[in-house]
Chain A
Amino acid sequence: MTERSAQIPSGAPARGPRRLIFETGAPESRCVEPPPLDVPELDLKVRLQGRAKIRHEMPMLPHVTEVEIARHYSHLASMNFGVDTGSYPLGSCTMKYNPRIGEDAARYEGFAGLHPYQPIETVQGALELMCRLAEALGEISGLPGVTLQPAAGAHGELTALMCFRAYHLASGIERRRVLVPDSAHGTNPATVAMCGFEAITLPSDADGGVDLAALDEALDDDVAAIMLTNPNTLGLFERNTLAINEAVHSVGALSYCDGANLNAIMGITRPGDTGFDALHINLHKTFGTPHGGGGPGAGPVCVTEALKPFLPGPIPVHLDDGSFGLAEPARSIGRVRSFFGNFGVLVRAYAYIRGLGGEGLREVSEQAVLSANYLKERLRDAYELPYDRTCMHEFVLSGVRQKREGGVRTLDIAKRLLDYGFHPPTIYFPLIVEEALMIEPTETESLEELDRFAKAMLAIAEEVSTDPALLKAAPFTTPVRRVDEVAAARKPDLRFRREG
C-alpha cells in the first residue's frame, strides 16, 4: 500500500469525490444563456401583487461553464459501476445488458416530444405502442387485463392490492389481512400497510417454499390476499403454486404474484395459468430497460378478466374502427399517478420484446436459469448452499462457514469482490438465510465472465483461510473505501450549505 501511494504525486486528483458542483466554477461562469427577450419586460412586482412575491434571496445554484459540467459529471460517472462496467450479479435485480436501440427509440422526437394532452389523433403511434406492449405482457403473464401506469415495481404492487381491495369491497366483504411469506421483498409488507391491510408473515418450509400447514392455518375469510414471489427470493420455483392458489381461492381470497423474478419463466409457465389473479412486472428487470441508478423503471400490472374493471384508468385501447383511444375501466380504483405512466420506459421495453420475439424471450429465461445453475454448481463446495435444489435464474449461498472460520462476514466477501472488479451480489437477503449472498448472473453474461466470477468467489473463499484481515479491510481499489454509515445517520448531512 505504502509503496503504491509513494508513486502517486501529491498533486494528483482524488479518485473519490473531489468537489461539489457548487464549489466548481466562478460566480460569473455560465453554461447556457437564454436568448434576448422578444416581448416587453414585465414589472413582476406589480403584476404579481397581493398573490406572489419576488424572491429576495436567489437560490444557491452552481455557476459553471459547459466544460466544467462535462468534466464534473465525467468524474462522477467514473466513480460509478454499471452493467457496462462489468458483471453485476445482483440477486433479484436482473442487471442484464440494456440494448442501446431502446435508448435511441425513447429519444425519437415522435415519442419524446409528445405532450400528454395532445389531440388523440396526433398520438396514435404512442397509443398503438402501449396497446401492443400491454397485449404482449398479457400473453407473457397469462393475465389479460393490463395497466401500464405504475412507475415502478412497488408502485405496481400497490396498484394490484388497491384493485384487490376494491374487488372485495364490491362484493360487500371487507377483508383485513394479507399473507406474506417470510422470504418476501420488503416492499410487499410495506405495500400491505399502505393499503390499510395487516401483514401476516408466513414461514417457509425446509424446502424453501411456502409452509402449507401454516398457510392452511392462516387462511380464513378475513384474508384478502396472499403475495407470493414466484420463483421466490431463494431462486426456487414454488412447486405447490397450484395447490396454494387453490387454497387461497377456496376462502375467497386473491393471489398476487410479485413479478420481480419473471426473467426465469418467460415462455415456460405463466402466472395467470397457475392461478394467480394479478402480477406486477418490472420492465427495468425482465425487459431490458436500464435501472438508471435507481429509476425510472415501470411496473405494469396484469390481472384476470374479473379484476380488469378495477384497474386504474385511462387504459389505451384498440377501437373497432382500427384507431387507438383511451378507456376508463368500469369500476376503476382511479389513477395512481399523472398521465399514462413512464412512457419512455415503455418504449424501451416494447423495443426489447419486439426485437427478441416470443422465442427469444424463452431463450432468455432458459439461459438465465442455466447460467445460474452453472454458477451454483461451481460455488457449492466453497460456500454453504442452504437449499440444494435446481434453482431458477438466481440462487442463494450462505457465508456462515466463512463467518465461523475466519470471522469474515458476507459484507466482507461482497466488498472484496469489488477489488476483483465485480459488483457484489445482493447480501443479507432473503432474511431467512443467515449471511445470505443472492446471486443472479442473468443471461447476458458470457461463459468467460461467469467463470471469471466463479474464480473470484473461490479465490475469496481461499483468502478467508489465508488472510481474513484483508477481507475485513476490503475494498482497496475503489474510488472510496468503506463508508461510515453510522456517522452519516447519527449526524445527517443531507445538503450542502455555503459557508459564511
Chain B
Amino acid sequence: MRQIPVTCEQREAMLRALGLSATEELFADVPPAARIDRPLDLPTGLSEMELVGHLRGLTDANAPATELVSFAGAGCYDHYVPAIVDHVLRKPEFFTAYTPYQPEVSQGTLQATYEFQTMICELTGMDVANASMYDGATALAEAAQMACRITGRHALVCAPTVHPEWRRTLLTYAEAGTAEVSRSPATDVATGTMQVLGQEDESRKEDHPSLASVLSDERAAAVLVAQPNFFGNFEDLSLIAELTHEAGALLVVAVNPLLLGVLEPPSAYGADIVVGDGQPLGIPMSFGGPGLGFFACRKEHLRQMPGRLVGRSRDVDGNEAFVLTLSTREQHIRREKATSNICSNQALCSLAAGVYLAAVGSEGLSAIARACIAKAHYLRERLLETGRFGAPWETPFGYEFALIYDGDVVEMRSAMLERGFLAGVCAGEVEGGSFAGIGAEMLESLVLLAVTERRTRAEMDLFAEEVASL
C-alpha cells in the first residue's frame, strides 16, 4: 500500500530545491548515536487486497456477539443501529475533519455538536452538556474531580454497585490526583443495591457500612451512583440524593441514556452531575470502544466543567453561526489551571448518537426502552420457570438483571455458546468482581443478562428451553 503522491522524480527536484542530494541530509540534526542503524523489524507492506485477506483472516478467529443470540450487557449493549447512522458517519467531511477550531469551515461539526448537547440536556434534564468525554468510566472519574473543585473537599463515596471497571477507573484517577476514594458503603444483598441507611444488625455495621454511616465519617465531595446499577437494578435515588445533599456533597449519577426515553431523568432527583456511556445510542459494540462518554451538569457549575462546549452566536454578517466557547476552562488556554487535560474527545460518536436520536425520536426511544424492559422481564420469568435459576432479589430493574445459576456458570456459558447463544456475563469475572457485601460464593453463580430490542420471543423461549435441558 502506498499513500504518498509525490513521485521519485519530484522528490529529486524537491531535494535539489533545498540544495540537498539525499533525503538522509534532512536528518542531520539527529545525532548518529540517536539513529536506528537497521530497518524497522516489521512485516513487509501488503497490497490492499492482501491486507483485506489478512484482516478477514483475523475476523475469522472471532465469533461476534451480533451473529449469536446475545444476552451480554454489563455496560455494552447489542442494540439495533438504523442504517442512516453509519451513512452519515461515512461522510468524509465529518470523519476526516479536525476539531472545529476554525468555525468558518466547521459549522457542520459545530452544529451537530450543539444539537447533541441539546439532546443530552433533554434526556438527562440537566442545564448544560459538553461535547463528549472518552467513555462513561472517564466521565465518572472527571465528574468526581469536578465535584472536588466545587466543594473544596477530597473524599469520594462511590456506590459498590457501580460497574467495577468504572469504579477502578475512578480509583486510578483519584490515586493519581488529590482525591481519595473513601471506604465503600456495602451492597444490600437482599436488594442488589447500595445499603443506604444503617441496618439493624450492629455486628455487620463495621464491615458493611451504609451510605449514611460512611457519610457521617467523611466530608465527602461527591456520592457517585449508577442508575440502573451494574446488576440492572434501580437504586433508591430519592433517598440517596437526600442524604448526599444533607452531607453537603454533590450527587453524581451515571445513567443508561436509552432508559431515559421512559424514566424520570436524574435531574428530578436532584442530581448535580449526570454522566454515562452513549454506546446504546447507535454505536456498535466494537469490543468495547470507541463508545461515548457524556457529561451534563447544572448551570451554576458550568465553568468547572471539563471538555469542549459549542455555543450559538452570530457571524459578522449577522447570520447564525456556531463556535467553540468558554475555552478558558481548557488546557490549550489555561494549561495547568485547566479543568481537565482532555483535548480529543469522541466527536464522531456524538454525531452517531445525534443521528440515532433523530432517527428514533422521543416516541421511538421510549418504545425501544419499553420493549427492552418488557423483554428482559419476560426472559427473567422464563428462566425462573426452568428451575435452574434463582432470583437473588426482587428489586425493580431495567433491561438487565442478575440471576443465580444452580450449576457451574462458566460451563453453562460454554455449552450455550455451542448452541449459538451468548449467555450473558458472569458478574464475578468483571474486573475481579468485587462488590462490597456480596460474598464470593454468591458472586460465582451470578449471571448478568441483558435483553435488547433485538431479541425475539422465539429466541428467548429457545434459550430457556436449551438452558433447562443442560
Contacts and interface: CB of A to CB of B under 8 A. Distances in A.
B52 to A, nearest CB: 7
Contact of B102 (A192, A296, A424): A424
B433 to A, nearest CB: 12
A154 B171 contact: no
Interface stretch (B205-213, B241-249, B262-270): B262-270
Contacts of B107: 16-17, 76, 79-80, 479-480
A494 B347 contact: no
Given A17-B107, A333-B176, A82 B93 contact: yes
B316 A80 contact: no
B104 A483 contact: yes
Contacts of B65: 113-115, 118
A217 to B, nearest CB: 20
B114 to A, nearest CB: 7
B386 interface: no
Contacts, number: 716
B273 interface: no
B442 interface: no
A349 interface: no
Contact of B129 (A113, A488, A495): A495
Contacts of A418: 102, 104-105
A290 to B, nearest CB: 5
Contact of B36 (A63, A126, A267, A447): A267
B176 to A, nearest CB: 4
Contact of A110 (B46, B58, B104, B337): B58
Contact of B122 (A60, A115, A157): A60
Nearest to B191: A51
A359 B70 CA distance: 43
Contacts of A193: 336-338, 341
B412 to A, nearest CB: 12
Contacts of B311: 488-489, 492-494
Nearest to B63: A122
Nearest to A31: B359
A337 interface: yes
B466 interface: no
Contacts of B470: none
A213 interface: no
Instruction: Specify which of B15, B33, B61 lies most central, judged by the most chain A CB atoms within 10 Å of its CB.
Output: B61
A82 B76 contact: no
Given A115-B76, A494-B311, A338 B333 contact: no
Contacts of B338: 186, 190, 193
B54 interface: yes
Contacts of B33: 242
Interface string A188-202: 011111111001000
Given A17-B111, A139-B40, A154-B344, A88 B288 contact: no
A84 interface: yes
A54 B264 contact: yes
A294 interface: yes
Interface string A27-48: 0011111110111111010011
A371 B6 CA distance: 9
Interface in A81-139: 81-85, 88, 90, 93, 95-99, 101, 103-119, 122-126, 128-129, 136, 139
A374 B123 CA distance: 52
Contact of B82 (A32, A268, A360): A32
A245 B325 CA distance: 39
B378 A39 contact: yes
B425 A362 contact: no
Contact of A52 (B67, B264, B289): B264
Interface in A452-474: 473
B313 A334 contact: no
Nearest to B27: A268
Contact of A69 (B122, B358, B373): B358
A355 B51 contact: yes
A351 B55 contact: yes
B188 interface: no
Interface string A427-453: 001000000000000011111000000
A366 interface: yes
B175 A333 contact: yes
A359 to B, nearest CB: 7
Contact of B315 (A49, A480, A496): A480
B337 to A, nearest CB: 7
Contacts of A199: 335-336
A90 B96 CA distance: 13
A220 B309 CA distance: 40
Nearest to A288: B3
B317 to A, nearest CB: 6
Contacts of B367: 33-34
Given A39-B378, A119-B417, A334-B172, A97 B3 contact: yes
A488 B312 contact: yes
Given A99-B1, A484-B315, A105 B55 contact: yes
A106 B235 CA distance: 37
Contacts of B166: 338
B313 A294 contact: no
Nearest to B460: A39
Nearest to A82: B96
A17 B314 CA distance: 10
B118 A377 contact: no
Contacts of B87: 70
A338 B40 contact: no
Contacts of A267: 36, 39-40
A155 interface: yes
A426 to B, nearest CB: 8
Nearest to B7: A447
A59 B61 contact: no
B197 interface: no
Interface in B108-139: 108-109, 111-112, 114-115, 117-119, 121-123, 127-129, 131-132, 134-138
A269 interface: yes
A293 B98 contact: yes
Interface string A338-365: 1111111101000101111111111110
A292 interface: yes
A412 B292 CA distance: 35
Given A54-B264, A361-B40, A82 B94 contact: yes
Interface in B259-299: 260-265, 268, 277, 284-291
Contact of A66 (B14, B40, B84): B84
A61 B6 contact: no
A370 to B, nearest CB: 6
A151 interface: yes
B34 A355 contact: no
B431 interface: yes
A116 B288 contact: yes
Contacts of A32: 82, 84, 359-360, 364
A126 B84 contact: no
Contact of B169 (A20, A90, A337, A443): A337
A39 B14 contact: no
A98 B288 CA distance: 23
B30 A269 contact: yes
B265 to A, nearest CB: 7
A259 B306 CA distance: 23
Contact of B321 (A16, A353, A389): A16
Given A61-B360, A444-B4, 18 more contacts: A37-B370, A54-B262, A58-B362, A59-B122, A70-B88, A80-B105, A83-B96, A126-B58, A155-B138, A190-B335, A290-B95, A293-B106, A334-B171, A358-B45, A361-B42, A371-B14, A478-B105, A495-B114
17 contacts: A52-B234, A61-B122, A70-B84, A76-B108, A99-B1, A101-B1, A123-B63, A191-B341, A193-B337, A292-B347, A293-B99, A295-B348, A334-B175, A340-B287, A359-B39, A478-B105, A496-B118
User: What are the nearest 10 A-B pairs in CB distance?
Assistant: A110-B59, A339-B288, A357-B45, A113-B64, A113-B66, A292-B348, A355-B1, A116-B288, A125-B61, A82-B96
